């Protein structure tokens, strides 16, 4: 977080992030939708609606350069160029849109989640993969090849 020139420096308690609540996610997705934010500059603009405006510390092109950029505002947002080699154009084919509080919000489909979690072998993804295995089994499907 960066304080504006004419503002007081932030207090310590203002520098911590918290787990986002549904209202945070809905509000941010509403702004992203209103801006038609599919490009970095518009995503940055939408993230400026967060209270600390931490996104202003980024320069254009940093997501492409670094691959993953974490915005630590009142809530934490990770911007990713790709996940497990799957870029936005490819992932967009497997997105499911659900309406939450009147706002269309894109979610990764079970097949896309599998494709992004299976290659990582991260312990925190293990329970998700077990759930997804059961999801596919219940539907008589095989998980996607990775």
pLDDT band with cut points at 50, 70 and 90 for residue 38: confident
Which tokens belong to 3? 């304080």
Q: What is the pTM of this model?
A: 0.76
**DSSP code per residue over 94-143:** GEEEEEETTEEEEEE-HHHHHHHHGGG--GGGHHHHHHHHHHHHHTT-PP
Residue 46's nearest CA partner among 69, 21, 25 is: 25
Of the ranges 8-22, 85-99, 103-117, which one carries the lowest mean pLDDT score? 8-22
H/E stretch holding 48 reads none
Q: What tokens does 127 get?
A: 């329970």
Residue-wise pLDDT tens digits, 56-75: 999 988 998 999 999 999 99
Q: For the ranges 1-5, 89-93, 114-118, which has the lowest average pLDDT? A: 1-5
């Amino acid at each position: 977080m960066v304080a504006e020139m004419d503002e007081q420096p932030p207090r310590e308690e203002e520098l911590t992030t918290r787990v986002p609540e549904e209202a945070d996610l809905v509000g941010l997705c509403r702004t992203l939708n209103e801006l038609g934010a599919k490009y970095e500059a518009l995503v940055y603009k939408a993230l400026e609606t967060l209270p600390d405006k931490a996104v202003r510390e980024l320069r254009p092109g940093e997501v492409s350069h670094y691959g993953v950029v974490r915005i630590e505002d009142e809530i934490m947002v990770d911007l990713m160029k790709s996940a497990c080699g799957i870029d936005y154009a490819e992932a967009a084919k497997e997105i499911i849109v659900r309406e939450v509080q009147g706002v269309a919000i894109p979610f990764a489909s079970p097949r896309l989640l599998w494709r992004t979690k299976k290659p990582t072998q991260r312990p925190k993804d293990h329970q998700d993969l077990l759930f997804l295995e059961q999801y596919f089994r219940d539907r008589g499907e095989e998980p996607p090849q990775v």
